[in-house]
Amino acid sequence: MSVLEIKKYPDPVLRRKALPVENVDGALQRLIDDMIETMYAAPGIGLAAPQVGESRRVVVVHVNLNEEEHPLIVLLNPEIVEYDGKVVSEEGCLSVPGYVSSIERAAMVIVRGLDREGRPVEIEAEGLLARALQHEIDHLDGLLFVDRMSPIKREFFRKRYMRRLKEPA
């Protein structure tokens, strides 16, 4: 396993709609293992394949170290099939380092996809897990959490973030 480079905004791979996973093979398993290693090393609670430069519909999520309550989740081709309620909470992103904002998301989601062996799974989630799943699935559709801000907040973010990128290290 190896730690991969996390792509940062405004890298174009973060804006592409990821392609569905067609084959569950050894190369995919290596990508999943590397994504898990990268997520833990970052450290983060979720990672989508586009964030490591792979335009494929793969996400890993681990919101809690308490394995019984929230084990590590690997999803291939995930989609939100149901959602309910609204909640606003602080959110950040490994691809947009150093920036957090209050983002509105569904309070509860039901997500369907495949596990890492290609078997169908359905997850009903609330709280931080629901937020993390929505955030990572957004990445698969070329969306970043900043796209969910109001237009004024988003423009303020872009100016401030781009100015920070131009500053010498």
Active site residue 155: no
List, for residues 12-42, the tens digit of each pLDDT value. 999 999 999 999 999 999 999 999 999 999 9
In a domain, 5, yes or no: no
**What is the value of pTM for the model shown?**
0.94
**How many structural domains are present in the chain?**
1
Sheet holding 46-48, edge to edge: 46-48, 58-61, 73-84, 108-114, 120-126
Q: Tell me whether strands 58-61 and 46-48 are parallel, antiparallel or unpaired.
A: antiparallel
Whether 137 is covered by a domain: the verdict is yes
The per-residue pLDDT for range 57-116, each reduced to its tens digit, is 999 999 975 556 679 999 999 999 999 999 999 999 999 998 999 999 999 999 999 999
Find the catalytic residue in 90, 136, 155, 167.
Answer: 136
Range of the domain at 60: 12-166
Percent helix, percent strand, percent coil in the chain, to nearest 5: 35, 30, 35
Residue at 148 is within a domain: yes
CATH at 132: 3.90.45.10
